[in-house]
Structure 1
Amino acid sequence: MEDLKIQYVNLKQSENLEGHRTAGFNSADALVVRRGAPFRISVGLKGRPFNPMTDSLKIKVMLGQLCVIMPVTFSKRTPSSGWNAYVNPHGLNLLNPSIFISTPASASVGLYSFQLYVFTQGSQRSQASGKFILLCNPWCSEDAVYVPDEDQRKEYVESDSGLLFMGTAANLVSRPWSFDQYEPGVLEWCLNLLQVSPQHQKNRRLDYLNRNNPVYISRVVSAMINSEDDRGILKGNWSGDYRQGIHPSMWTGSGEILQQWAQSGYHPVKYGQCWVFAAVMCTVMRVLGIPCRVVTNFNSAHDTNGNLVIEEYYSETGKKLNLSKDSIWNFHVWVECWMTRRDVGSEMDGWQVLDPTPQERSGGVFCCGPAPVKAIRSQRINLLYDIPFVYAEVNADVHTVILGQGQVVSFSKDKEKVGSFICTKAVGLPRLQNITADYKYVKSPSSTLSSRSSTISEDSALRRAAPPKGVLVFLTLDKSPVAGEPICFTVKIINKHSVSKMMKVHLNAQAKEYNHSPLDTFWEKHGVIQLAPREVKVLRDQILSVQYVDAMDDNLINLAVVLEDMASRERVLASEEFNFASRELSIQVADEDAIVPNKEHTATVSFTNPFSQTVSGLLTVAGAGLMHKIHFRMPPLPPGERVSQRITFIPSMVGVKMLQASLSLSEINVTFRGFKMVSVNSI
């Protein structure tokens, strides 16, 4: 009789990918599965049928130099905590048996190889091999990243697009982002990130062993997103000079960044800023199976000396000065990952802050976290990791100082500016979710987007005015500034004295990058007013678009007013930092209820010129799972005119996908954006 031999191994790709929620991943030679759940392979035998009485099967699974050898049993009653393999005896086909390989819920993440052996009574042996990629499993209750809610799993693991929130707390801007985890090559590049990390290069065996722990994985990834200490993905740049690479605001998704990094031989991609670092990290973590979301903290403190105080300095005429090593970023973007924290106690399970933007070293390298959000809220600064730094980002006090001839002439405190609003994308909806109360105790639960004014409230301004007795000043924007329209604002002055006052009034406007002190003054106005006893005076003014257009450059504006009592020389200041609201590009999809895979569909992108000058630019349209990125040159468009561009796309997979467009103008350094969620239905 002919010897029993293995003819082939069938990885049952479609069945396993669907069962393990990995159907979107495309790996040429490896099955993609999640730990803590069995997957099935089919074995083709030849020579004679398999005889359970005299023949046996064994599987050797290898991750680098780590390996486990397990016999294939004929019983499903095997311990769930370890590796095991079994044949279901019901409906057994002895020439084509199905083997279930069960992985522990604490198995290490990575690319595994396996060898299947068949042994006969005469000690003859035949073997076959295969590969599988093992990811974390938020669907498995025994996994450290388990999330019980299915809607959250869809949002924080499976969704390949999202919104990043930027701008200011009073005028939030939602920027579409494509996480691209299902695009070709992205899965392999994310796994390669672990392979080229210093931890793996230093001790491969230890790295493979530690990859069972999402705390360890998240710290490795946080350090590898930036390139300060290793062969990381992104080089940060806040200088304003991006000629050696790509302006950070021009990126629209993670896939092209990861591709450029991998194809360059793991040289850093130029350039990134906080939202780019965070968005790419979100991609990597979702690929690895660790639930992740992008979070924005408005008025985020960077406290270099750890005293929980940020000093801001102004001149006597309202110009903000760059005199402090500390700073307040108008917004800062990081990620949260969901995991248990057995290292610090189960009461710290849940969302953990991870910040890949290189700011401070942690354990000798530029990474941050995982810092439990619950620890930040409860001020448990003795726990791991980096809780004091994150706590300061959302809780530092602001001391505002006016300097005159090198001397302090006015001083005030603000305990509520920093961490004033913290948000992330809502589950399943293209809008934000307010999570400020997760990080800190808030006085009122009413701090939602719909209730947040686009101007400073008088109560808020009162807290920022000094002194409470004497002359008070309030600076309010009449409406959220829109690119191409005048900046209209009101200065309200209250004389609390019972005597008249002569006051100098200084108005100053400076362009400001979100994380830096302002640049030079581009607009100012000075004057003198007289206040009668107890008088309230209202001054209205505006900055025309022709006066600020050269200062835009995707910047914010710092507007300040300083009042100087000509008799006592006392000063009082009010200021506001704000961004421009850009009109969104309009995207209309034809027959949007009939979108199906592998069929051509059409959409139209439209733009109206809001400026008082003719503009032209480059239109970019992209959509993961819908189309590859394409560019169109927009011809000169006169003021007030509208232009439309028709595009075609062919969806490659079922689900809700994001079609996004951006228009970068040539004459004015500003970019307009828009997005449209497209539901691709099964045929």
Structure 2
Amino acid sequence: MRITMEFGPTPSITKGTKAVMLATFGDKAESCGGRWDAVITNLNENDIVLEIASPSNCPIGIWRCSVITGLIENKRMVSIKKVEEDIYMLLNPWNKDDNVYLSDEAERNEYVLNDVGKVWMGSYKEPKGRRWVFGQFEDVTLPCVILLLELSDLPHEDRGNPVLIARAISAVVNDADEGGLTIGRWDGNYADGTSPHAWTGSLPIMEEYMNSGGQPVAYAQCWVFSALTVTICRALGLPCRTTTNYVSAHDTNSSLTVDKFFDSRGEEIVGGPDGSCHDSCWNFHVWNDVWMSRPDLPQGYGGWQIIDATPQEMSESLMRCGPASVEAVRKGQVGFMYDTPFVFSEVNADVCHFREDTQSEWGFSRSRMNQYHVGRRIITKRVDVDDDVGDSDMWDVTVEYKSPEGSREERMAVFNAVKGVDRAQMLYDFPNQGQEDVFFDLIEIDQIHFGQPFSIVVKIENRSNEVRNIDAVLTANSIFYTGVTVHRLKRAEGHFQMEPNSQQTLKCEVLPEEYEPKLVDHSLIKIHAVANVTQTRQTWSEEDDFPLIKPPLDIKIEGNTVVGHPCTATFSFTNPLDKPLTNCVISVEGPGLQYPKILKTEDVNPRGSFTYSESFHPRRTGERKFVAAFSSDQLADIFGSISVSVSAP
């Protein structure tokens, strides 16, 4: 008896995509030295029980199996039986010989087996975890994942290499190159598709993709790309988690800095002086960490690796990113593959503010380098903790990616990275401009609920023994979470004199009626302050952003939560705005409870209550999650979840 295993369009023994085994008698099949093994473990008159062991570096995907039998006495009597069922080969984090081996059982349960988790959004001061149903064990998931791998440029013989698999995944989740899974959109116009805020899990996206014959699904943003990546990786056996970086730099010119330019009136110059600088700071950005060894890097750089499926910058001619070693990012080793300089800048770039200056040789002078702005906080879900109401399951992993801000280790990592990037070196050698004897402090805003006013407050202290004349500009804008300005909410400017060793406070109040009509996705507001001291040419600028706090979506379950018995879930919240909510949509989903639904509902009156009920019959026992999200033209991303314990009838 011989067993043949084949993979891909042109199976080859030398490339590891074909194996031929002679079945022998034994207790257990064991793969040794990268070889396949086939063992007959039981034999009777009617049945042969055969066990096959694959090598730990076996390419993953759909394999085809053939069984060849014959008689020793008559070699011409040969029968070939092709196994009709597809055989899915996956990575194995339980196998010590596999490059994705994860020794901790609790971590395997979280990063491979958990099919419901959280993606963190909000701001670094108010992180907010949003439930997501990953659904890696649903029927449609694995076929969809294999189809996406077929779209990638990854040769079949390389599909046993987790490094290259992860890199391919980061490319096919977005549609930028291969016509991948989802289409990204950030302008707030989702009329011809589904708003990113309406999704509650990966299953409806994958179903739509497969039912449409592989047409990319509209629409996604970074947290949707990241959640889909978790589904794909966990389905393949690759340990994966979503990770959120608050105040995430997007360095478009490989300088390891985020450069912003302002004119003499304190207005930002979009694109910089020559229109080619589009650096930005995203309020938050969600990527993924995958666990694997890195035999292609020096020892000590395995473990968590960053991949990013959000299409931002080209990497080797495709929109993809990673895997970049977390340890390499922490140490500033930007020469290690893949895309480490870009990821390093996301968490550790310095912010450069330049203001128009007629006395400068190139027309601008640097206001300051803000070393405490980027990578404020890096968050993921805590292992073995789950919280439907609050965020006690949040885990701050910032120290895994960077040393404490301002510490010697952090500055050394930055300078180590700068040495490897020519364009960055000139920015880090800029001389200080002018004498600085006036202290400015923009007071950060913590929590503002919808319907409340807020104020831009700057405290100023003249620490010199002379009079100082100061020009100041305060602005507030609504922004997308990518940092792009959408609407001006308010602007105030003034010129005033400060006596020696004196203090003064500037304040600009913004009322609800001034900001509510101009809010966009995530209801984010950026405040900005710019000041100039006439006598010393000292310039200063600072910025801060914050989301308006939204009401939670309350969920109540009625009925006996027993398999097959009727139950009702009721979803409710109160509209915090003085205007109606229109084009309302609610999405509900619960693995083992309710198949995903996206439904249009009635408008919600100003300051009125929203209530919606959904009947369901539990299908599976155990601890289950019900997840829901509400969105409208005026208010999006109202979400909630609840745990439901289902018993057998």
Match of 1:114 in 2: 65
- Measured in 2, the distance between the counterparts of 1:682 and 1:289 equals 30
Matches within 5 A, 1:251-270: 251-270=199-218
Select the residue among 350, 353, 358 that pairs with 2:306. 353
1:416 maps to which residue? Answer: 372
How far, CA to CA, are the matches of 2:3 and 2:398 in structure 1? 50
Report percent identity of matched pairs.
31
1:410–1:188 Cα change, 3 Å: closer
Correspondence list, 1:632-647, <5 A: 633-647=600-614
| Residues 543 and 141 of structure 1: CA distance in aligned 2, closer, same or farther (over 3 Å) | same
Q: Which residue of 1 aligns with 2:140?
A: 185
Structure 2: runs of 5 or more not aligned: 12-17, 387-392, 408-431
- State which of 85, 97, 100 in structure 2 corresponds to 1:142: 97
Query: Which segment drifts farther, 406-415 or 308-317?
Result: 406-415
CA distance in 1, matches of 2:513, 2:221: 29
Aligned partner (choices 213, 216, 220) of residue 272 of structure 1: 220
User: 1:608 and 2:574 equivalent?
Assistant: yes
In the alignment, which residue of structure 2 is the partner of 1:101? 52
Q: Which residue of 2 aligns with 1:437?
A: 399
What secondary structure, in the 3-state scheme, does the structure 1 residue paired with 2:23 have? strand
Residues 337-395 of structure 1: CA deviation (Å, up to 9, x unaligned):
11111122442221111112222222232211111111111222222211122112222
Partners of 1:251 and 1:197 in 2: how far apart? 25
Mapped partners of 1:467, 1:603: distance in 2: 64
- Any conservation in 2 of the 1:187–1:287 contact (CA below 8 Å)? yes
Deviations 1:459-515 (A, max 9, x none): xxxxxx998843333222454122332224433222323345554543211111222
User: Once the 2 structures are TM-superposed, how far is the Cα of residue 640 of structure 1 from its aligned partner?
Assistant: 4.2
* Structure 1 residue aligned with 2:546: 578
1:78 Cα deviation from its structure 2 partner = 5.3
Q: TM-score, normalised by structure 2?
A: 0.84
Q: How does 1:218-367 map to 2 (within 5 A)?
A: 218-322=166-270, 323=272, 324-367=277-320
Q: Which runs of 4+ in 1 moved over 6 A?
A: 465-468, 566-569
**Match of 2:526?**
558
For 2:562 and 2:354, the matched residues in 1 are separated by: 60
Q: How does 1:464-613 map to 2 (within 5 A)?
A: 469-477=436-444, 479-501=446-468, 503-527=470-494, 531-554=498-521, 555-565=523-533, 571-590=539-558, 595-613=561-579
Deviations 1:278-335 (A, max 9, x none): 2212211111111111111122222222221221123444433312332222222211
In 2, distance between residues paired with 1:197 and 1:506?
50
- The equivalent of 2:14 in structure 1 is none
Q: Which residue of 1 aligns with 2:425?
A: none
How far does residue 125 in structure 1 lie from its aligned partner after superposition? 4.5
Deviations along 1:395-454, one digit per CA (max 9) or x if unpaired, are 211111233679436611112212221121111324321111111111599xxxxxxxxx
Letter in 2 for 1:58: R
Partner Cα separation in structure 1 for residue 331 and residue 648 of structure 2: 47
Aligned to 2:423: none
The more displaced of 469-478 and 420-429 is 469-478
* Length-normalised TM-score, structure 1: 0.80
**Higher mean Cα deviation, 669-678 or 547-556?**
669-678
Label 1:228 to 1:434 Cα distance change in 2 as closer, same or farther (>3 A).
Answer: same
Counterpart for residue 590 of structure 2: 623
Give matches, 1:396-415, under 5 Å.
396-403=349-356, 407-408=363-364, 411-415=367-371
Cα offset, 1:596, TM superposition: 4.6
Matched, 1:176 2:131: yes
Q: Residue 61 in 1 paired to residue 23 in 2?
A: no
Q: Does the aligned pair in 2 maintain the 1:511–1:558 contact within 8 Å?
A: yes
Q: Distance in 1 between matches of 2:490 and 2:60?
A: 56
C-alpha deviation, 1:526, in angstroms:
3.5
Q: Are 1:233 and 1:269, in contact at CA under 8 Å, matched by a contact in 2?
A: yes
- Residues 333-342 or 130-139, more deviating: 130-139
What is the distance in 2 between the residues matched to 1:677 and 1:135? 30
Q: 1:325 to 1:553 in 2, by over 3 A?
A: closer
Aligned partners of 1:319 and 1:521 also within 8 Å: no
Deviations 1:245-272 (A, max 9, x none): 3333333322222222233332322333
**Structure 1: 5+ residue stretches without partners:** 1-56, 200-206, 446-464
Which amino acid is the alignment partner of residue 368 of structure 1?
C
Residues 647/568 of structure 1: CA separation in 2 closer, same or farther (3 Å cut): same
Partner AA of 1:619 in structure 2 = I
The answer (yes or no) to whether the contact 1:509–1:521 under 8 Å persists in 2 is yes
Relative to structure 1, is the Cα distance of residues 312 and 407 closer, same or farther in structure 2, using a 3 angstrom cutoff? Answer: same
Contact 1:107 1:212 in 2 (8 A): yes
In structure 1, C-alpha distance between the alignment counterparts of 2:580 and 2:280, rounded to whole Å: 38
Tell me which of 309, 322, 346 is aligned to 1:369.
Answer: 322
Secondary structure at 1:144 match in 2 = coil
Deviation at 1:242, TM superposition (A): 3.6
**1:654 CA displacement:** 4.4
Structure 2 SS opposite 1:519: strand
**Greater mean alpha carbon deviation, residues 392-401 or residues 285-294:** 392-401
The residue type paired with residue 290 of structure 2 is C
Give the SS at the match of 2:172: helix
Bigger mean CA offset, 513-522 vs 415-424: 513-522
- CA gap 1:630/1:248 in 2 versus in 1, 3 angstroms: closer
Separation in 1, partners of 2:563, 2:95? 30
Distance in 2 between the 1:494 and 1:164 partners? 41
Once residues 526 and 345 of structure 1 are traced to their aligned partners in structure 2, the CA distance between those partners, rounded to angstroms, is 54
